[in-house]
Amino acid sequence: MSGNWKVTLPCTRAEAEAIDAGDGPALDPMPTLVTTEEVLDDAEQWRLDAYFDREPDAAAIAAIAALAPATAARPTVERLPDEDWVTMSQAGLAPLHVGRFFVHTGDAAVPKGAHGLHIAAGRAFGTGHHETTSGCLAALDGMAQAGRRFDRVIDIGTGTGLLAFAASHLWPDAAIVATDIDAVAIDVTRENATANGVDGLHLIVADGTLDDAVTAAAPYDLVIANILAGPLVSMAPELAAIAAPGATILLAGLLEVQRDAVEAAYTACGCTPLTTDRRNDWSVLTLRAGAERFVPAGPFDPKGRDGWALDI
């Protein structure tokens, strides 16, 4: 039966973090997985919702249940009304104030002195509420507060465009490229850019840097990638190759337990880790590219991109 369906079951925070890190089922089509903290600061009281665009069969339900082995509860399955469940899942999120940015999904009064960014609940994730995205906003704001200036910026895996918009506000004269592997995300970014009065972004549908338009605009003096640990490691040579000598590289979407592997991948490409912003179990990394532009030893290998996620 067609339509929107949801499978729900309790999970733990550890299980939720594993899911957020890309440890999902091998299903086709892949459902959208959303984890929610049910009770504040209670590691045992989380919830997993899996959204399907068709009625899930027994094998799909079992695959979702396997993501939360700690629970004895049976998954609940329900058909949703013919409405936009992504919008519903994001609607009502409290506004987020990070540095000089005030991010909101609906009508909200922007505090005096803050820069409002309206990211409508909709077809792509990336409202700034996850630790990885709020950490990137804080890092970008901190760079500007410290007097850093950038002329060429790229946001890899832009999602809703939020980080690209923030960079555009902080460095209005910079040439900014925003990419995503998902064409829908680029459409959403374009819509959000119009809604926020952001002009001049170069939007590209691309798998990492594997597009001539991405490399033609290189080198970049600020490279942003808020995705997942697997793709970050896979793309280390690519991101290092498009970075200008001494460029700043901002990485997020990784758990603290994955930080060593991510840092090692970039260190091998001549980058130097500078700072780590630990936010609960997530980490936001700032690195500096090598003094000379990195030249990869061979062609890029897209292996490892499984589990690519939109901006969270």
State pLDDT tens for residues 217-229. Answer: 999 999 999 988 8
Q: State the distance between the two ends of the chain, measured CA to CA, in whole angstroms.
A: 30
Instruction: Identify the pLDDT of residue 264.
Output: 96
189 labeled part of a ligand binding site: no
pLDDT tens sequence across 47-88: 988 888 788 999 999 999 999 988 888 899 988 765 544 444
Instruction: Identify the pLDDT of residue 82.
Output: 57
Sign of CA dihedral 291, 292, 297, 302: positive
Residues of the chain with CATH 3.40.50.150: 119-288
275 labeled part of a ligand binding site: no
Which of 14-23, 72-81, 165-174, 193-202 shows the lowest per-residue confidence on average (mean pLDDT)?
A: 14-23
- CA dist 283 and 261 (Å) reads 12
How many CB atoms are located within 10 Å of the residue 35 CB? 18
Q: Are strands 76-79 and 2-11 parallel, antiparallel or unpaired?
A: antiparallel
What is this structure's pTM? 0.71
**pLDDT averaged over the chain?**
83
- CA dist 68 and 255 (Å) reads 18
| DSSP state at residue 274 | E
Query: Using 50, 70 and 90 to split pLDDT, how confident is the model at 256?
Result: confident
For the 119-288 domain, the top CATH level (class) is alpha beta
Return the bridge partners of 243, or none: 220
Instruction: Identify the pLDDT of residue 299.
Output: 78
Instruction: Identify the pLDDT of residue 152.
Output: 98
Q: Which two tokens stand for residue 4?
A: 């929107």
For the 2-82 domain, the top CATH level (class) is alpha beta
Q: Percentage of the chain surpassing pLDDT 70? A: 85
Three-state DSSP at 207 gives: coil
212 labeled part of a ligand binding site: no
Instruction: Identify the pLDDT of residue 94.
Output: 60
Radius of gyration of the chain, Cα coordinates, nearest whole angstrom: 19
- CA dist 153 and 144 (Å) reads 13
pLDDT(137) > 70: yes
Q: In what order do the strands lie in the sheet with 202-205?
A: 202-205, 175-180, 152-156, 220-226, 243-255, 282-288, 272-279
Residues of the chain with CATH 3.30.70: 2-82
157 labeled part of a ligand binding site: yes
More confident residue, 107 or 114: 114
Query: Using 50, 70 and 90 to split pLDDT, how confident is the model at 134?
Result: confident
pLDDT(92) > 60: no
